[in-house]
Structure 1
């Protein structure tokens, strides 16, 4: 992929080689204290020393790892070998240079491949992502995309496609680019071709959504075969992975996170949007801390994908799907109550570490468990969880959607009417306002109607065969 050099941000100290020679590679900055670099020479040294080709400094936003950088931290060498031209990273520091999270080791060398990620001193201290301009892996990307963005490493893959790290040309601002292949799904029940007008109408609505706990949609590029959605980048990982790693959250922490989820989803509901695919994988964390700002993602995405596809493809198992979706095999019209059910399942999981419905049960298959609301709270897992928390789960996971609690009522439930938790959540959501929530940023008057009002569509399993053995119908 041949990109003009002026489209990338440079080190101000860089000499004029980049203006006269064609670069063979690029370093894109991952941390705030790093800047981008076009690679034109065959050797570069990186470190804290003033004599390095790329000298790290600690001006501007302070880097906590700066003192751990060596005078020469690592060296980059491009050379010809019997198997072709390769780029080698030589680790010069005993404090550690990491490639894709793995320590290279002082004195060792490692071949750099396209989209490899480099960390310094700590594997979490991400510095650069390397782009090999001779890799030609992105030749099929549309011009509308490559004129504005450079796509690098894959951040994740899902049923609808993949998510890649994207940099804005010129500024190196980072986004997550969700790539959706239209071949896999129908769009709103119609052909995936010639849907530009409808797609962009929906995209305008998605871009207008402004809430601290909702992933921002920056841009959408629509092509006949693929949809590229530029999303706010959140780097703390998925709630799903966090629950798997810690088993379950303490009740107060779970309440703090869930309060944010409820606020975000109520905001969507107030604008006429049903999420339709709420699950721990679609709740992102802003940091590694247990108490952190959460971000709901993939909201409104189901508008582009029919309900049947969501049930059959988006969710390999129906763990988070409301009973009414299963009852109609994904072909019915649903209210926003389906999101309330899914939030109930998420709350169950983050408090206990396992899902309320399980394939492990021998007395009842998974769909029947869900459609009948057959779940329970075994004492060995729930003895430390309050009755109020369990009561809210029951109200959210009520089989009859007409009797299911709304998010407005959920936020007024005794369990969530916790002034201390609300204050802490507000400080996370509105740090610049000292925890004071600003007025609703959506215009008053007519409600947004992404869903037309009523259109809707494997956490860790430690539950034993007797979990949920006593049917409970909330």
Structure 2
């Protein structure tokens, strides 16, 4: 029997939403159609109606963790094989060496899962042993962000403390998959206009995310200042956020919560580096229009119409209100009143 650990070593994120997701904590998992012998069962009403279903085996593949997650092995046990990053694996055991891999089942085009290696992502730590915690920078429904000094690097950091109990109350028992997706996506990106995520630690009730500290606060803070932002200042900030979004979209990542509070400024100077933050509802998206995201995600007053009305959205949702933000700043309107969409944009 596979042993169980409280710390996940891997995450199977469905590329195609007909497949079930999986947070991997046991030492090994069998994935396939068999209802009694598989740990993750590939059988549902939606999946049965799909053309790919008949190609899936009762036991399709095994994925296992060795040496506390330091090594991950994938073994195909199906009749039709699997593809790892486009390479056929048939009745073969291979070592998964990268932090992420695309898994296709039976057919190369049947991209079922993105496997994310989580081992080493979550270390166990006592907050006070690693950081000198300072003032509160911001708070949300289940997380607070504090300014801190790292005892290890002796540099300023922002520490996001996520309360797991509050997460479960608001999101439900499946809250873990959202936390893992947030920290894994944020940790996988590297761009000068995206706030850096460093280490992630957890205690029994809290998750700590160590991030870059932005001394200039948020764009929302700057909008509320007494001086009026001029056009050049506004253009420079939005140029940087546009660069960050272009980078994310090339990686097939949609942020889904673009708003002034999530744009952080690295200094109080008028000409400063702006960085996109908060990947709480970010998600990978794919080209097929058959599987556009239809879930509501983000802050309602800043949602694109296709998100709010659940008509299906992709990376286009991130750019929907960027022009509206710019018009609002230049006209010195309060962002908290929202943008009706009726204003004319030249």
Aligned to 1:60: none
Match for residue 267 of structure 1?
A: 247
Distance in 1 between residues matched to 2:174 and 2:234, nearest whole Å:
40
Task: Identify the residue that residue 193 of structure 2 maps to in structure 1.
Answer: 213
Is the contact between residue 214 and residue 264 of structure 1 (CA under 8 Å) also seen in structure 2?
yes
Deviations 1:19-48 (A, max 9, x none): xxxxxxxxxxxxxxxxxxxxxxxxxxxxxx
1:174 pairs with 2:183: no
Q: Is the counterpart of residue 326 in structure 1 residue 304 in structure 2?
A: no
1:374 correspondence with 2:342: yes
Matches within 5 A, 1:16-165: 143-165=125-147
Q: Which runs of 5+ in 1 are unaligned?
A: 1-141, 360-365, 377-389, 392-474
Counterpart in the other structure of 1:237? 217
Aligned to 1:249: 229
Match in the other structure for 2:183:
203
Structure 2: where are the runs of 5+ without partners? 1-123, 284-292
CA RMSD across the alignment:
3.4
Q: 1:190 to 1:307 in 2, by over 3 A?
A: farther
Q: CA deviation at 1:271?
A: 1.4
Q: How many residue pairs align between the two structures?
A: 214
Conserved 8 A contact 1:261-1:296 = yes
| Pair 1:297-2:277 in alignment | yes
Shift of 1:184: 3.7
Secondary structure of the 1:212 match is: coil
TM-score (structure 2 length as normaliser) = 0.53
Structure 1 SS opposite 2:264: strand
Measure how far apart 1:174 and its partner are: 1.8
CA–CA distance in structure 1, aligned partners of residues 296 and 210 of structure 2: 23
Shift of 1:344: 2.5
Report what 1:57 is aligned to.
none
Give the conservation status (yes or no) of the 8 Å contact 1:222–1:228: yes
Call closer, same or farther: CA 1:274–1:223 in 2, change over 3 Å.
Answer: farther
Shift of 1:164: 0.8
* 1:281-320 superposed matches below 5 A: 281-298=261-278, 300-303=279-282, 310=297, 315=299, 318-320=300-302
For 1:177 and 1:227, the matched residues in 2 are separated by 10
Q: Structure 1 residue 292: deviation in Å?
A: 1.2
CA deviation digits over 1:390-417, x for unaligned, max 9?
43xxxxxxxxxxxxxxxxxxxxxxxxxx
What secondary structure is seen at the aligned counterpart in 2 of 1:249?
Answer: coil
Is the CA contact (8 Å cut-off) linking 2:306 and 2:312 kept in structure 1? no
CA change 1:250–1:199 in 2 (3 A) is closer
Question: Which one has the largest radius of gyration?
Answer: 1
Describe the shift of the 1:189–1:307 C-alpha distance in structure 2 as closer, same or farther (beyond 3 A): farther
**SS across alignment from 1:245:** coil
* Post-superposition offset of 1:214: 0.8
Q: Name the CA shift for 1:160/1:278 in 2 (closer, same or farther; >3 Å).
A: farther
Pair 1:320–1:199, CA change in 2 (3 A): closer
Contact 2:182 2:281 in 1 (8 A): no
CA pair 303-256 structure 1, distance change in 2 beyond 3 A: closer
Deviations 1:164-200 (A, max 9, x none): 122222442221001222334459966256x37x744
The separation in 2 between residues aligned to 1:192 and 1:166, in whole angstroms, is: 30
